[in-house]
C-alpha cells in the first residue's frame, strides 16, 4: 500500500543505493530525498506484522550534535530536550530527539516526511563554538522492530531487559546487541510503538539477517514503512 | 557473566567494557627525563589493594573511573571523572577495613 505522496522507484536509480536492496528484492520501493526505502512487500501479511515486524529506516534522514552549546542550539530551533542522558522525546511531527550523554544529541527523522525536517535542522547555521555536527546519517544504520513480541526478540540478542514495564517509551539503552555495539530506543514511529536500533552501517545486512532470524521464532516478518503509518 | 555498573548507562555485561589502565599523572613530556617518561608509558605498579582505573563503555564511547581491588577483582565504585577534582585525582584511596576485602 502506497500513499499519494510516495513515488515508486527502482533503488538502482537513486543517488544513494539502499544498502539492503538485493536482500529485499521483493519490496516495493519509494523515493526519499537521496535514496529509496521499502514501502511494502509483495507478501505483506498484517497479522504476522502485528506479531513482530522488522523495518529498514536507514534512508530516513538522521543528524546529531555534540558540545556544550548543542542543547541551546536545538532548543532555539524548537526541538524538545530530554532531561537526562539515555532519554528520548518525540515531537508532534514525529521526529525523535535522543540524548546520548550530557552533551550529545541525535535527531531521528519522521517517517511521514522521510526526515526532511531533520535535513532542514542540519542545514541551519551552527553556533560559533561548543557545538559540532555528527554524521550519524552516514555512520549508522537504522532498523525498527515493532509488534507484540519485539521485547522477547530483543531478550534473545541483548543483556538489557526491554520489557515495556522496565523499558518504557522514551528509554534508550546503549549496549551490545548480537555482539554489535548498538543504540536501542523505545519510542513511536508513525504512531506505532517500536524499538529503533542504530548501529554501524557495516553491519546493516548482518543485523537485518540476525533480527529476521530471531523474530522468526515468533512468526515475525519484514515490513515496509507503510506498515508503521497508523492513520 | 560479571556485571559492572557504568555511571552513564547502569549495570552492563563486563564484555561491553574495555580496560584503559591505571589513573596516573603524566609527567611534563617537555621537561621530564627519559626514565620518567618510560615509567609513565611502560611500567605499571604491580601491587595489591584498591586502585583507580580508567574503563571505557564501548557501545556509548564513555570513559569513567572504577575503583577495583587488584586481588579479588571486585569493583567497589565507579564514577564520572568530573566527580573528582584535580587534588583528589591521584591521591591514595581511603583504606577499606580488612574484613570488607575478604
Task: Among A117, A137, A157, identify where a domain stops.
Answer: A137
Question: A201 and A98 share a domain?
Answer: no
Domain, as residue range, for B14: 1-24+48-94
Flag whether pLDDT at B15 surpasses 90. Answer: yes
Q: Which CA distances in Å does A48 have to A126, A149, A206, A224?
A: 45, 11, 22, 13
Contact A85 B8 (CB under 8 A): yes
Question: How many CA atoms lie less than 13 Å away from B102 in the CB half-sphere?
Answer: 3
Same-domain pairing of A95 and A112: yes
**In the predicted model, is pLDDT for residue B39 greater than 50?**
yes
Kindly provide the ipTM of the predicted complex, given to two decimals: 0.86
Burial classification of residue A212, based on how many CB atoms lie within 10 Å of its CB (0-12 exposed, 13-18 middle, 19 or more buried):
middle
Q: Both A195 and A163 in a single domain?
A: yes
Report the run of H or E that residue A29 belongs to, with start and end.
strand A27-31
B12 touching A (Cβ < 8 Å) = yes
Residue A38 has pLDDT above 90, yes or no: yes
Give which of B18, B52, B24, B21 is closest to B40, Cα–Cα: B24
**Which positions in chain B touch A182 (Cβ < 8 Å)?**
59
Q: Does residue B40 form part of some domain?
A: no
Q: Give residue A198's pLDDT.
A: 98
> Rounded distance, CA A186 to CA A170, Å?
6
Using the predicted structure, report yes or no on whether residue B96 has a pLDDT greater than 90: no
pLDDT given at position A7: 83
Which residues share a beta bridge with B90?
none
Domain assignment present for residue A114? The answer is: yes
Instruction: Mark whether A81 and A192 lie in a shared domain.
Output: no
Chain A, 96 to 115: residues with Cβ < 8 Å from chain B are: 100-101
A213: pLDDT strictly greater than 90? yes
Taking the Cβ of residue B18 and every Cβ of chain A, the question of whether any pair is shorter than 8 Å is answered with no
Would you say residue B85 lies in a domain? Answer: yes
* Residue A178 belongs to a domain: yes
Q: Which pLDDT band holds residue B102 (cuts at 50, 70, 90)?
A: very low
The reply to whether B36 falls in a domain is no
Report the pLDDT averaged over residues A133-143: 95
Answer whether residue B42 is part of any domain. Answer: no
Interface A–B counts its CB contacts (< 8 A) at: 31
Q: Do the beta carbons of residue B68 and residue B75 sit within 8 Å?
A: yes
* Residue A50 and residue A77 in one domain: no
Which CATH number belongs to the domain containing residue A99 in this structure? 3.30.70.1400
Q: Per residue in A189-204, pLDDT tens?
A: 998 999 999 999 999 9
Report angle CA A219, A223, A225 to the nearest 5 degrees.
150
Q: Which grid coordinates are listed for A162?
A: 526491554
CA dihedral B57, B60, B63, B66 (to 10 degrees): -40
List, for residues A48-74, the tens digit of each pLDDT value.
899 999 999 999 999 999 999 999 999
Number of domains chain B contains = 1
pLDDT in tens, A142-156: 999 999 999 999 999
Q: Please check whether residue A22 lies inside any domain of the structure.
A: no
Contact (CB<8Å) B13/A182: no
**A30 lies in some domain:** no
CA closest to B63 among chain A residues: A101
> What CATH number should be reported for the domain holding residue B54?
3.30.2270.10
Same domain as A53, residue A153: yes
For A102, the domain range is 62-137
* CATH number of the domain where residue A51 is located: 3.30.1360.120
Residue A107 lies in a domain: yes
Identify which has the larger pLDDT, B56 or B1: B56
**Segment B75-95, tens digit of pLDDT:** 999 999 988 877 777 777 776
Put simply, whether A161 touches B (Cβ < 8 Å) is no
Shared-domain flag, residues A198 and A96: no
Rg (CA), chain A: 17
> If you average pLDDT over residues A98-117, what whole number do you get?
95
User: Is A6 within the bounds of a domain?
Assistant: no
> Could you tell me if B64 lies within 8 Å of chain A, comparing CB atoms?
no
Amino acid at each position: 500500500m502506497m500513499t499519494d505522496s510516495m513515488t515508486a522507484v527502482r533503488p538502482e536509480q537513486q543517488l544513494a543505493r539502499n544498502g539492503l536492496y538485493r536482500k529485499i528484492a521483493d519490496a516495493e520501493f519509494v523515493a526519499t530525498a537521496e535514496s529509496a526505502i521499502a514501502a511494502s512487500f509483495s507478501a505483506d501479511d498484517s497479522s504476522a506484522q502485528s506479531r513482530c515486524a522488522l523495518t529498514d529506516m536507514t534512508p530516513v534522514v538522521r543528524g546529531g550534535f555534540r558540545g556544550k552549546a548543542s542543547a541551546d542550539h536545538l532548543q532555539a530551533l524548537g526541538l524538545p530536550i530530554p532531561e537526562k542522558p539515555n532519554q528520548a522525546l518525540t515531537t508532534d511531527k514525529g521526529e525523535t530527539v535522543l540524548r546520548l550523554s550530557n552533551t550529545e544529541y541525535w535527531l531521528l527523522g519522521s517517517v511521514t516526511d522521510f526526515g526532511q525536517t531533520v535535513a532542514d535542522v542540519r542545514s541551519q547555521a551552527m553556533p560559533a563554538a561548543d557545538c559540532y555536527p555528527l554524521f550519524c546519517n552516514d555512520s549508522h544504520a537504522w532498523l525498527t522492530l515493532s509488534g507484540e513480541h519485539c521485547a522477547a526478540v530483543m531478550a534473545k540478542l541483548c543483556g538489557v531487559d526491554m520489557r515495556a514495564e522496565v523499558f518504557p517509551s522514551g528509554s534508550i539503552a546503549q549496549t551490545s546487541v548480537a555482539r554489535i555495539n548498538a543504540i536501542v530506543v523505545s519510542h513511536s514511529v508513525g504512531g506505532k510503538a517500536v524499538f529503533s536500533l542504530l548501529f554501524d552501517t557495516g553491519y546493516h545486512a548482518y543485523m537485518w539477517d540476525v533480527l529476521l532470524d530471531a523474530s522468526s521464532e515468533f512468526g515475525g516478518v519484514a515490513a515496509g514503512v507503510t506498515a508503521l503509518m497508523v492513520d | 557473566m560479571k556485571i559492572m555498573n557504568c555511571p552513564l548507562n547502569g549495570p552492563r555485561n563486563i564484555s561491553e567494557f574495555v580496560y584503559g589502565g591505571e589513573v596516573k599523572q603524566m609527567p611534563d613530556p617537555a621537561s621530564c627525563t627519559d626514565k620518567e617518561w618510560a615509567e609513565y608509558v611502560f611500567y605499571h605498579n604491580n601491587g595489591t589493594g584498591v586502585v583507580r582505573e580508567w574503563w571505557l563503555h564501548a557501545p556509548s564511547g564513555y570513559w569513567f573511573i572504577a575503583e577495583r581491588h587488584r586481588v579479588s577483582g571486585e569493583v567497589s565504585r565507579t564514577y564520572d571523572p568530573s566527580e573528582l577534582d584535580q587534588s583528589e585525582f591521584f591521591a591514595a584511596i581511603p583504606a577499606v577495613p580488612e574484613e570488607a576485602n575478604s
